[in-house]
Amino acid sequence: MQWVRWLRDVGAGDVGEVGGKNASLGEMLRALTGLGVAVPDGFAVTAGGYRAFLAASGLEERIAAALRGGDDLHAKSEAIRTLILRAPLPDALAAEVTAAYRDLCGDGPDLHVAVRSSATAEDLPNASFAGQQESYLYVQGEADLLDKVKRCFASLFTPRAINYREDMGFAHEAVALSVGVQRMVRADAAASGVSFTLDPESGHPDIVYITSAYGLGENVVQGRVDPDAYWVHKPTLARGHRPVFRRKVGKKELRLVYDPVGHRLSNLPVPEPERAAESLTEDEALTLARWAVTIEDHYAGRRGEACPMDIEWAKDGVTGELFIVQARPETVHSQRQGPTMRIYRLGGRGEVLAQGLAVGDRIAAGAARVIRDPRQMKQFRPGEVLVTEATDPDWEPIMKTAAAIVTERGGRTSHAAIVARELGIPAIVGAADVCDLLPAGQEVTVVCAEGETGLIMKGALPFEVEEVDASALGRPRTRILMNIGDPERALGLARLPCDGVGLARMEFVFASWVKVHPLALTRYDQLPAAVQREVDALTAGYEDRTAYLVDRLAQGIGTLAAAFWPRSVLLRFSDFKTNEYAHLLGGEQFEPREENPMLGWRGASRYYHPGYKEGFLLECAAVRRVREAFGLTNLQVMVPFCRTPAEGRRVLAAMREAGLVQGERGLEVWVMAELPSNVLQAREFAAVFDGFSIGSNDLTQLVLGVDRDSEQVAPLFDERDEAVKRAIVALLREAHAAGRRVGICGQAPSDHPDFAAFLVAQGIDSISLTPDAVLRVTREVLEAEGPAAAPAAQERREVGARR
């Protein structure tokens, strides 16, 4: 055949004839099917066929003349597409297309096929033409197929396609169009979505991020639904583990299906029970992740450099099979040059008007402009915040001039999210009813720099931007670690130049991800009926209520460990006080009222006590899942508020009951050094634990006898007091003599440069800091260490590393 090629016979060298998309599909069919990646077969009408059509119809000069004339983009587009649609396909081209279709159908009835446009300059590493041309689904029969091929040719001249080529500097005549024809995957009876081989928000390269929703994939791509999301850790996946370390159930409001009576696509509402269920199984998510890595590795090997991929997949609801239907290079994070980071910090707070999913990590301010219909685009002014229900490629001309974008619908792989990342502006998607909540012209600040949730705040609030070249920042001999609690910020914060996490707060995961007291699950029958109903709603979908806690806790902890892999993450077991535990759902039923919770039943004393031990065993089960099922053995644990060495041994015994054994698979168990007894009996504690982490807040409080929450004695609270510093010096001396490492995770070094210098001078092994202090204190530590300190400091590191 002259103008039709089977996809399995084309590859990278054929991009000029079949376009990036079809060349990619052909290469996958040929190279990856043998590796277990399923790709539906089909054929491509080449760019030569497109050119033959133009030549036979005498359209080249007429199209060129139309492009030169006038400034009305939409009028030019309409005129050119009308010319193409009215011209007949050459008989020879039509015969080749119908012959290939008959071969694809075999002896059976006419197949439904997907007909997709692929421009010959499409999906380059630095430009994505995806979505600029049209695609058609459930095309059936020869006449319908020939009509759709011609409509794909015409879509090379949609307003958005013309505009995109001009913006990217591509000559119109240099770009031709190929049409791919593939066997239709019956995703309308199952699910479909998008996979990225990096985290699309942070650019973290160790993640496969998968979205999924019921029905055909256009709803996910166009942002019409809030899809399910799955995060998979690539390094431990390669080691044979099952590291779906995080899952998020989306609303999945609509299901895009094919209506065989009306011969059209229809969006149908999804019943509530299906919305609450996951649209993929864990096994299916793992299969898609393995395929994504295989595809990424293939293209990286061919290019000789990293090649993150943006992949579309579909599940056939008739056969149950999964298929890859498109793959293209990711075009946002892969194009960032060098290690320079921009860190945004909000300088004030305002009333929160609306919220949704944050896209990117930036902040912007401007007047809100609510536009519900593309025909109202002329109302938009550069520098405003675009607020609308959802976007598609037709919106891109005004998106390019927006300060920020806010949409009512969509997820992280929606059109609005992808374009915002390409433009480098913040966006918030899935902000329910935001078009009704924001008055026209209201000055707002769009905040996407505080985690997964994006906030629209009233007023133009001040913010600052710090640019950091991480490669220019040296690494001190003292390990610089980070304090972190919020898993939603972990993938982004992991980009900061640090050696790991010195304090991961389990109680943050409890409060924001679990929300229920452990004993409200293990002693459910003791709860009042009203609280039981709340627990039932929270744990819906889990056969065992305790499985909910282990799963949610493991997801939060696993996110922290995956983000910083292979760097160490030191997780502190839950350290709520009794009054704080009582605030969890069902907690009041099981917590005593104490006069002084700060010195009461907290930390280690709870873990082996009959009044909480069953809750601690659930904490251990979550840690075990992260280390064993996810394979994230960089996760270590820490025991807070341990009053005596004997108490420490009782905690270790409780951990062993749960299958967490100190030393197995490299598990280290540290102790918070926050009590005078930890200092006075440092050698005895060193015989129980693998290391010490100084909690300077509690240590200062207890050494000085100062209630840190009391306004009257607050001026006396000072971590730099000589008594506190002597306690730290004594701990360092005794712990190092016993061959144990010592770090600090309290607030003091983040706040006081002189305190960080003191710690370095005393030979501290690590300093764990709040994220906003990491860069500043790293510089201060480098200055404090100086070249002369190197031999003595190195000797201390070697001593501290011995067990």
Please write the tens of the pLDDT for every residue from 186-236. Answer: 999 999 999 999 999 889 999 999 999 999 998 998 888 999 999 999 999
Neighbour-count burial for 235-260, b at 16+ CB within 10 Å, e otherwise? ebbeeebbbbbbbbebbbbbbbbbee
| Mean pLDDT lowest among 366-370, 690-694, 714-718 | 714-718
pLDDT of residue 434: 94
Q: Do 434 and 406 touch, CB atoms closer than 8 A?
A: yes
415 flagged as catalytic: yes
Instruction: Specify the 3-state DSSP secondary structure of 6.
Output: strand
Contacts of 555 (CB under 8 A, 6+ apart): 245, 246, 247, 487, 513
Average pLDDT over residues 768-794: 76
Count of Cβ atoms closer than 10 Å to residue 81 Cβ:
18
pTM of structure: 0.82
For residues 133 and 119, give the distance between their C-alpha atoms in angstroms, rounded to a whole number: 8
Average pLDDT of the chain is 89
Q: Which of 204, 298, 415, 736 is catalytic?
A: 415
| Mean pLDDT lowest among 504-508, 651-655, 763-767 | 504-508
Question: In the structure encoding, which two tokens stand for residue 172, read together?
Answer: 């119109």
Contacts of 495 (CB under 8 A, 6+ apart): 202, 203, 204, 341, 470
Q: Do 310 and 293 touch, CB atoms closer than 8 A?
A: no
Whose CA is closest to 47, among 142, 133, 105?
A: 133
pLDDT of residue 727: 97
Confidence of residue 160 (pLDDT cuts 50, 70, 90): confident
Whose CA is closest to 45, among 154, 139, 124, 118?
A: 118
Tell me, what amino acid is at 744? I
pLDDT of residue 121: 55
Using the predicted structure, report yes or no on whether residue 795 has a pLDDT greater than 80. Answer: no
Question: In the structure encoding, which two tokens stand for residue 781, read together?
Answer: 């530590």
CA distances from 766 to 226, 373, 697, 757, 782 (A): 42, 56, 17, 12, 13
CA torsion, points 60, 61, 65, 67, in degrees to nearest 10? 20
Summarize pLDDT for 633-643 with one digit per residue, the tens: 999 999 999 99
pLDDT of residue 11: 62
CA distances from 409 to 131, 220, 438, 477, 750 (A): 18, 10, 16, 48, 40
Instruction: Identify the residue whose tokens are 């160790």.
Output: 206
Q: Do 412 and 209 touch, CB atoms closer than 8 A?
A: yes
Using the predicted structure, report yes or no on whether residue 696 has a pLDDT greater than 80. Answer: yes
Average pLDDT over residues 122-131: 44
Average pLDDT over residues 735-747: 94
Output 81 or 466, whichever has higher pLDDT: 81
Average pLDDT over residues 426-450: 92
Confidence of residue 796 (pLDDT cuts 50, 70, 90): very low
HSE-CB of 328 using CA atoms within 13 angstroms = 24
pLDDT of residue 16: 61
Distance of CA 614 to the CA centre of its chain: 33
pLDDT of residue 486: 86
Summarize pLDDT for 352-363 with one digit per residue, the tens: 999 999 988 899
pLDDT of residue 166: 80
105 flagged as catalytic: no
Instruction: Identify the residue whose tokens are 């990590």.
Output: 361
The conformation of residue 127, written as its DSSP 8-state character, comes to B
pLDDT of residue 526: 96
